[in-house]
Structure 1
Amino acid sequence: MKNRLLATAFGIFLLGTAGQASAADVTMPDPNYATATAAMNVIKAIAEQELGLEVDTVTTTAVPVIWEAMDRGKGEVDIWPDVWLPNQQGLVDKYVEANKTVKLAKNGYAAAQGYCIPTAAAKKHGIKSVYDLANPENAKLFDTNGDGKGEIWIGAPGWQSTNIEKVKARDYGFAEFFELQATEEAVATANLDKAVKADKPWIGYCYGPHQNFALYELTMLEEPKHDPAKFVVVQPNDDPNWFEKSKVSSGYADTSVHIAYSASLASRQPELVAALERIQFDANDISKWAYEIIVDKKPAAEVASEWVKAHPDAVGKWMGR
């Protein structure tokens, strides 16, 4: 397997010659966070072990660029296994519904997202709701650098949810009291681990399935029930004035995660596409895979290969046997 870098600034691939498609049969992105990396590697293992395909990977966290590549249909990116809805609904509307250049597999699994805090800190300081953050004294509890502002992790650069969280922080009224940190997930997890071990507060965007819910005792903050009228999201790739035009003052709608693939893949790899439509991931499996990758330090490819070999019945159904 070759591993390449997906350039985010110009929306092109560094493949030796910019913009060329991969020579492999299938190309998938590795976004470098455990749940999506695990799902990607399971699909990769099936493609290689069951269909004998050569699968290439590109490393990126830039979700819009992934969709643009699938839209072009040239094999730069063929499959994206981590479509969070409603987070990526704008991309689905554009590329699946309007352009019809990307397909969304019908099967998905339920997920959850919001803000979380170590349970011990939540109880100690009485932090229960997002509105408790809109208090300068409470915000100072999360100040680790002495600048008078708390720090809150809002997600990784390139995630659609990170933009949503920027708007949420403004509309829930706590943005002025916090430094909104958009860093790679590994940095946030390291900070969470440090805080828990020191019995200190930490606050950030959390989603599940995720290994952190097995590693730590975490409490999700209360948010108003989802209200479509109060959850209006415009993404930067749709409008340069996205921040001003967005308004988010309620929780997420029911969340599900799906597989997307380039429409051109159907003619190039019909057997694989048929399998993608049959794949039904399980949230508990996703969490276990992520735990093995992060906590047990097992290579993601090894985790995926072992699971595929240990579950011939499930794989058989996915392959139509």
Structure 2
Amino acid sequence: MKLTNTLFAGAALSVMTATSALAQNAKVTIGDLSWTGATAIGHVIKAVIEGPMEGEAEIVEGLSDGGAIAAGMDKGDGTADVYTDLWMPNRSGIWDKYVDGANSVAVNIPYEGTQMIYVPSYMAEKGVRTILDLAKPEVAAMFDKDGNGKGEYWAGAEGWKSTKMWQVKFKSYGLDELWEAEVLEDATFKGQLKAAIQKEEPILFYYWTPEWVHAAYDLTPIQELERVDGCEDMDLDAEDWLEVSHFNCAASNASIYVAYSKSLEQRNPAAAKMLSQMALEPAVVNQWILQIGRDKEDPRDVAEAWVADNMDVVNGWIN
């Protein structure tokens, strides 16, 4: 009887140990956000966990709604563990509810996202470098494509708030007498950008980071006025948004995080530690977007190749 009890206790202990080990190495579920930068980051996280960390990770196909991902991270049941590209202050609702509020979601060290107006660097070499340069009629004339006396700049696509923002900025800087906005789809504009750069023609345009154009071309941002109190006051939802809005300074940079469920600290501590220490470089993200977005390479192949070639960086995240 004593021997039977001993065997039973030993078997139970073995089961408990195995269960504990499994609980410490739970599968990490990653959201499937729809933009290319988020796709790239998700596949890199998966490649790190399944490669050097010898764990299990899954990008949940179709899990693309940010609110649903955040709610899953809050639950802590493994339905959603990672939000790959959390832009702040854009997603302040998620941050306020789960990071600061419920304290159920943690984040890594962020990288910066920017939105600026650019010229190819060959135009910067010709003296087009600042907002004050754009106020010179001879500069605007260089960018006049249709001969109507105004230079054109790409402000973005129809329906983007940033498209309205740049029209407000040009009005607020007093540039609307010399410049007019072009509103085109992103793909159409990228075709124009490629053609202009191939011919070294003038082109002025809004863009943001991270994006592949910065990895593909030599671009220079136009320097704007520094931010001061009251320089940005916009109501882009108003019917008369252009008249009531004002913005005559540089836009604030975004802070972009990898967010993850704090439940991973118990369910998979190694993955939680890696995610907390993951530090991304904007230039690297630009390159991933170039390969996946422009060159149509498989995101998994891009991620696995990058991890294999950058184990010094990856080991810094893990250890």
- The answer on whether the counterparts of 2:155 and 2:181 sit within 8 Å (CA) in structure 1 is no
Aligned residues: 282
Secondary structure, counterpart of 1:30 in structure 2: coil
Partner residue of 1:283? Answer: 282
The equivalent position to 2:56 in structure 1, one of 52, 71, 84, is 52
Is 1:82 aligned with 2:81? no
2:120 to 104, 118, 121: 118
Pairwise mapping of residues 222-241 of structure 1 onto structure 2 (< 5 A)? 222-232=223-233
SS in 2 for 1:223: coil
Deviations 1:106-145 (A, max 9, x none): 4023455411112333444x43322444567754543446
Distance in 1 (CA, whole Å) between partners of 2:217 and 2:147 is: 26
* C-alpha contact 2:31 2:42 (8 A) present in aligned 1: no
Q: If each structure's strand is expressed as a fraction of its own residues, which one has the higher value?
A: 1
Q: Deviations over 1:42-64 (max 9, x none)?
A: 1243355443122134598xxxx
Q: Is the 8 A contact 1:118 1:216 kept in 2?
A: yes
Q: Pick closer, same or farther for the CA change 1:134–1:261 going to 2, 3 Å.
A: farther
Gaps of 5+ in 2: 1-27
Question: For residue 4 of structure 1, what is the aligned residue in structure 2?
Answer: none
Q: 1:76 to 1:169 in 2, by over 3 A?
A: farther
Aligned sequence identity (%): 28
Structure with max Cα Rg: 2
Provide the C-alpha distance between the structure 1 equivalents of 2:175 and 2:241, rounded to a whole number of angstroms.
19
Tell me, which stretches of 5 or more residues in structure 1 are unaligned? Answer: 1-23, 61-65
Question: Cα gap change, 1:78/1:214 in structure 2, threshold over 3 Å: closer, same or farther?
Answer: same
CA distance in 2, matches of 1:59, 1:131: 45
Paired position in structure 2 for 1:259: 258
Structure 1 residue aligned with 2:94 = 95
Query: Aligned with 1:229: secondary structure?
Result: coil
* C-alpha spacing 1:178/1:44, structure 2 compared with 1 (3 Å): farther
RMSD: 4.2
Match of 2:110?
A: 108
Rate the CA distance shift 1:251–1:290 in 2: closer, same or farther, 3 A.
same
Shift of 1:263: 7.2
Shift of the 103–118 alpha-carbon distance from structure 1 to 2, 3 Å rule, reads same
For 1:70 and 1:242, the matched residues in 2 are separated by: 33
Q: Secondary structure at the match of 1:116?
A: strand
Partner-residue secondary structure (3-state), 2:227: coil
TM score, norm. by length of structure 2: 0.67
**1:212 shift after superposition:** 3.4
State the alpha-carbon separation in 2 of the partners of residues 216 and 72 from structure 1: 39
CA-CA distance at 1:308 after TM superposition:
1.7
CA contact (8 A) 1:162 1:182 kept: no
> Does 2:178 correspond to 1:179?
no
Aligned twin of 1:12: none
Aligned to 1:188: 189
Paired AA for residue 223 in structure 1:
E
Distance of aligned partners of 1:42 and 1:170 in 2 relative to their CA distance in 1, 3 Å threshold: farther
Partner of 1:302: 301
Q: Does structure 1 conserve the Cα–Cα contact (< 8 Å) formed by 2:30 and 2:42? A: no
Change (3 A) 1:170 1:109: same
With normalisation by structure 1, the TM-score equals 0.66
Q: CA separation in 2, counterparts of 1:183 and 1:220?
A: 21
Relative to total residues, which structure has the larger helix share, 1 or 2? 2
Q: Against the structure 1 CA distance between its residues 31 and 157, is the aligned structure 2 distance closer, same or farther, given a 3 Å change threshold?
A: farther
Shift of 1:73: 3.7
Q: 2:163, 2:183 within 8 Å by CA — same for their partners in 1?
A: no
Q: Deviations over 1:150-204 (max 9, x none)?
A: 44233467876555434323322335731242533x4333221111112221111
Q: Which one-letter code corresponds to 1:54 in the other structure?
A: E
The letter for the 1-side match of 2:301 is E
Does structure 1 conserve the Cα–Cα contact (< 8 Å) formed by 2:106 and 2:259? yes
The match for 1:42 is 44
Amino acid at match of 2:118: C
The aligned amino acid for 1:115 is I
Residue 36 and residue 226 in structure 1: after superposition, are their counterparts in 2 closer, same or farther (change >3 A)? farther
- Structure 1 residues 122 and 52, CA, compared in 2 at 3 Å: closer, same or farther? same
Partner of 2:23 in structure 1? none
Instruction: Tell me how far apart the structure 2 counterparts of residues 68 and 81 of structure 1 sit (CA, whole Å).
Output: 13
**Match of 2:30?**
26
